[in-house]
Structure formats: structure tokens, C-alpha cells
Amino acid sequence: MFTLVIVSPAGVVFAVVWTAPAVTQPATVATDTEPARLLPAPDVQPVTLPAAPINVYANTMSGVVPCPLCELPPRVYVPNSTGGTVDVIDPLTFKVIDHFAVGAIPHHIAPAWDMSALYVDNEGSSNLTVIDVHTGRPSGLKVNIPFPYNLYFTPDGTKAIDVVERLQRIEFRDPHDNWALIKAVPIPWPGADHLDFSADGSYLMISTEYSGVVAKVDTINMKLAGYVRVGGLPIDVKLSPDGTLFYVSNQGRMGVSVIDPVAMKEIQFIPTGRGAHGLQVSRDTHLLYVSNRLEGTFSVIDFATRREVSKWPIPGGGSPDMLQLNPDGTQLWASGRYNATVYVMSTVTGLLITKIRVGPEDHGLTYFPNVGLHSLGHNGVYR
């Protein structure tokens, strides 16, 4: 018994030393002469960690255009609604370098979900003009769909959505199968025109400009799922970076509605200016830019406080409409709907950089290529 008591600790020490990696110690380090102690096994029981906060725009924050798109020269494509044309601007020189005809009443230019093409929404011609992203010109292809005021893609890229404002419906179509109709969903309020998707893409929120309603549509079952009445003239729609709230510009109420999509109610209204119209999330995702079309200004809303923190006027006035950022987020580009002008603002100083003359009633311009893994359509909404 006495022998076993002596040998057992020595055996344990021998086993530990034999299996441990060699460590060279300074000669002055004293040797531990205490018997080895067997430690209890570490706690390896499964634990639940708090979920990491999401940011639906995380893929756009780098400010770097992904390759091979990075090899394309940057261009700003501007549809001129009453001209039936597109102007192409070199954003490095602020010069119009091309001009071509498309269909009747082009409203927006939407990048494809995989950013392989650009689609001009020719509402008056009931078709899409396809622009080749390599040449920056029409490819000769057209997509025939009814009265496309706006065009979107579900976050998973499986469905395209033709916003048919004239017929008060949206159409889910298969962009991988000759744009075949999957299902049409009636929107029983006039003026359906802009939308955005939930973080998981399971539903969308769409404004109905002429009825003061924001509707919720289930994108999986493709059916109306609810609505909230905000009054005024709701226009553009943007999901908050954390995916919990929707911001809706309201041209009639001169500000931005904040909507809880679960409770389906407006939880706050943020005054901005006359004709609050277009929305754009800043590159660091801390701010929301708002174009106040009827007073020629831009408001800056802080997502954290849900308050306007700055306002940038256009010298001499203007009519800023839809918005875009350059890749690094230092320039805010806006079409000037009633001034045949594109405005470029510095997001660093809040000052006007330049004005660029374009065709009549320029509307949903897009800056391309841009950051993000894929496009949700409209005039360039990326995630």
C-alpha cells in the first residue's frame, strides 16, 4: 500500500512530461518538486451566446467595388423621363460622355441582381432596355413586361418584381426563365411605386403614393399581408441597418415616417423639409440622406437618435429626386427632376460639388459599378 502511494504521483508526473511539448527554460528557473495535481476537466457544456447584431448593409461598407466589376470604368446613368433618353456621365470628370434613346417614359435604371446588366424601366413602352455594363450602351435586347415604373429583385435573386403602378399591382417574374410571370399581386391603393425588403427577404413594404398607405407583401406566398396608413404622399422606402424598422419618405407630410413592420404602425415621424422624396443610407450606415424635392435641400437623419442632424441646401435651389452614393460614400448624387440637372453633394462638407446638365425630367439615376454583393434593383440598392 505504501509503495503504491509513492509510485502513483510519480507515474502521473512521468505521463504529463512524456506527452507535453518540450519547453526550454532558463537555468535560473526553479524546478517544481511538488507532486502533480490532476485538474478537473474543463467545462465543455454547450452555452448560448447572444446573437451578433446584424447590419443588412454590411457588404456595402467597405467602399470598394468587388472584382471583376472593379475593372469597369465608373459611370452614372441618368434616365430622362420626358426625353425617352439616357445620359451617361463620367463621375471622374463630371462630363456627359454619351447619350442614347431608349423607350418611352424611362423612370429608373436598375442593376440586375448579379450586376451583370442594367435595366432601363420604360414605363410608356412596356419594356426594359438592357444596357451592356461593359460597353455602357444598349445591348440590343429588350424585356417585354407591362408598364414597368420600377424594378426590384428579391434578396435571394430568385424573383424579379415589376411594379406596375398604372394597373395597381406588382408582378413576381422569373428573371432566369424569360421573365415568365409567376404571380401578380393586386395592390388595392393607387400609386404603388417604391419598396424595400425585410432583412430575411420574406416580405416587402411598398408605398402607395396617392393613397397615404404603406402595404406589406409576403414574398414567399406572394400575397398581401397587411398595411399601415401614414397619410400624405409616401414615396421612397428604406430598411434600417439593424433590420427592425422601415423609413418612408413622405412628400405630402414633409418628412419621414418610421414604421414598425411587426406591429404595422407608424412609431415616429421625422420632419425634414418640403417634398421629402428620395432616401439613401450612408456608407458607414449611421445616417440616412433625404432629398427634399420641393425646397431644394437634403436632410441628414441619424439612425441612432432618429433625428435630423443636418440640412444641406443646393445653392440657387433645385429639385433633388432619387439618390445614389459613389463607392467610397463621399459624394451624394441626385437627379434634379424638374431642372434637367444632376447635383453632386459632398457628404464630408455638405456643400455642392457641381451641377451637370442632362435631359428633361431626369429621374432614377444609378452610379455603376458600385459596392455590395448583389443588387435589389430600383436605381441601385445594394446588400
Domain of 86: which CATH number?
2.130.10.10
Judge whether residue 71 has pLDDT over 90. Answer: yes
Give residue 53's pLDDT: 81
Instruction: Tell me, yes or no, whether 8 lies in a domain.
Output: no
Instruction: Tell me, yes or no, whether 22 lies in a domain.
Output: no
Instruction: Tell me, yes or no, whether 375 lies in a domain.
Output: no
Instruction: Tell me, yes or no, whether 121 lies in a domain.
Output: yes
Q: What is the mean pLDDT of residues 303-328?
A: 98
* Separation CA 326–CA 90 (nearest Å): 12
Q: 243 is in which domain, residue-wise?
A: 58-368
The phi and psi torsions of 6 (rounded to 5 degrees) equal -75, -40
Instruction: Tell me, yes or no, whether 2 lies in a domain.
Output: no
Instruction: Tell me, yes or no, whether 34 lies in a domain.
Output: no
H/E element, 4: helix 2-19
* Separation CA 311–CA 84 (nearest Å): 33
| Nearest alpha-carbon partner for 144 in 168, 170, 162 | 162
pLDDT digits (tens, 9 = 90+) for 16-50: 333 434 434 444 444 444 444 444 454 455 555 66
Residue percentage of the chain with pLDDT more than 70: 86
Give the confidence band of 11 by pLDDT, cuts at 50, 70, 90. very low
Instruction: Tell me, yes or no, whether 35 lies in a domain.
Output: no
Give residue 49's pLDDT: 61
Provide the β-strand partners of residue 174: 180
| Nearest alpha-carbon partner for 152 in 103, 189, 190, 185 | 185
H/E element, 355: strand 352-357
* Separation CA 301–CA 20 (nearest Å): 59
For residue 234, give Cα distances in angstroms to 25, 61, 295. Answer: 73, 28, 17
Number of domains comprising the chain:
1
Instruction: Tell me, yes or no, whether 183 lies in a domain.
Output: yes
pLDDT digits (tens, 9 = 90+) for 73-109: 999 999 999 999 999 999 999 999 999 999 999 999 9
